[in-house]
Structure 1
Amino acid sequence: MHHWFRVYNTLVDDPKVQQLSSALFKALINLWCLASQNGGALPAVNVVAYKLRMTPRKAADIIARLVTAGLLDDSGGVVMPHNWNGRQFQSDCSTERVRRFRANRRAAQATIVAAVPEIAEGAAAPDAAAPRGAASPLEAELRDEVARAFVQANAASVPDTGRVRLWLSQGYEADIILAVVSEIVARKPNLSSLNYFDAPIREAHASRAPKRLALGPPSRLGIEEAVRLFATTRHWSRWAGPAPGLAGCRASTELLARFGLAPDGAPFAPSADLSPDPSTLKESLQP
């Protein structure tokens, strides 16, 4: 029996959907179909991977991106299209639907794995998208590199780099993002918001041969640049070795102090007189 679900014509004006890459848009439609087949919730990641003919790792990554974009909701490990109940007008409530889904999920996954044994090796892949607040390693590294571009351009300040998560959720590639940001920041170092880069990044991805800039320096990051970046963004680059306060840190006490940092990396006021009061010292030495 064939079933249908509602897709509204206002979708053409939804920026969250229309700013997705072609691959993510296609995946979103397919995931809506799977949700419709499973009472409004997505099946296990291994099942999604089998249905969409991809690896479990790739399926988990797509789900995570769409959760970050606000197009899927993760409720205690059950992933559903955003506002599915409100748009599909099902007579039963979401609580009952989720209860049915959880009751059948293990059986469904076991059936797929039994039918296609080769996907069992992906069973360790996450069964739900990453928490909304958690930054993926790629996001953390790209935010680091974007901030570094501003520091290298001698910008007066580094804007909030949180928009990096939106760009990645829209399917944009990290090396193209970094190339666009680095090129523009070199000319306009004092931009106060990353919103400025939305259009250039979109245009770069639309071109046939966009410029790319690989993440991470080819050699170890200079320690002075790392300390300056840390003092500006409070993020210690993994390319600079151990962070201040850890054994093996290459940043000297004098270098940290020059950027207003204590030996453990905590900020302090460089102008403050940190020497002990002579009278207090004298009293403490008396028996």
Structure 2
Amino acid sequence: MIIHVHPGGTDAAAVLADSLGRPLSSDEGLTNDAGGSVVAHWKQLDWYTDEERIWTTPEWAQHLADPLLQHPFAAGPDGSRRAIFHLSVRLHPLDRNLSPAEWSEIAHRLARTAGLAPPGDGPAACRWIAIQEQAFRMDLIGNLIRSDGAWASTPGRLAQAVEGEARRIESDLLLYNHRPPAGEKQAGFAAPSPPLASRFGPPAASALAGILNQLAAEQNSPLATVRQLIEQLSRETAALPAHETAAAGRDLFWAARRLHGVQEQLGQIAAHLAPASSVLAPHPVPRPVPVTPGAVTR
């Protein structure tokens, strides 16, 4: 599994929209059928929900954000009000598909490790949900301000604590462990598959990592060129005087955001293939020819 702890925020709606990859809509709910699903949540959620009514995505965001509004003086140890916690989990390319029950277990264990759901916590617990929009990814979103106004007790080295729990989850669920803890063995389980670098050989893996890094580059890469063109079209389309074009502009914007996510994922894969210091210069990757909107190519 690949774990990423995002910087804390104050806008639950923006975090939820980013996790879904599209704007929130009052016409869309989080169900098990469409529009993403909630695979796990805090224990007291049932006190707020009605089994006969499906919450819309803005209502989910409001539920997560409420403690920030209800406790305006609550702040973290550093005085920050950035209470919206966001953690994303991606399966490694060599991992098997997981069942909803397995995703739920992963969410509860990571929420407990992050301090959102300490063992034996009562009605004043932190609000959090885990949503799944894609089969290989899950996002854990929560509010570090508890219902009683206290700030959650998070580990001093949060990212390291979550990473360590992820490695234990990989061992328990027999997933591909690409980065076992130093000096720790997976007792009782078969040894994980060798890293890609050892199977392809350092030179081949380094060259492949170099190509992936070139594609993942924020500027001056083929994917960056396409993304920047989509962003330009988004701005131009949204400025046209029609409701339909405004909606198309928003869709293009979110398409560019998803493409940026692909670039980030390629960079993560490259980092696991070979260390940055050993990456070989790749063969040049042809860049697409920029297309001016409305131009005709021959």
Tell me if TM exceeds 0.5: no
TM range (shorter): under 0.3
Higher relative contact order, chain-length normalized (CA < 8 Å, sep 6+)? 2
- CA radius of gyration, larger in: 1
Q: Counting helix residues as a fraction of each chain, which structure ranks higher?
A: 1
Q: Counting strand residues as a fraction of each chain, which structure ranks higher?
A: 2
The TM-score, its normalising length taken from structure 1, stands at 0.22
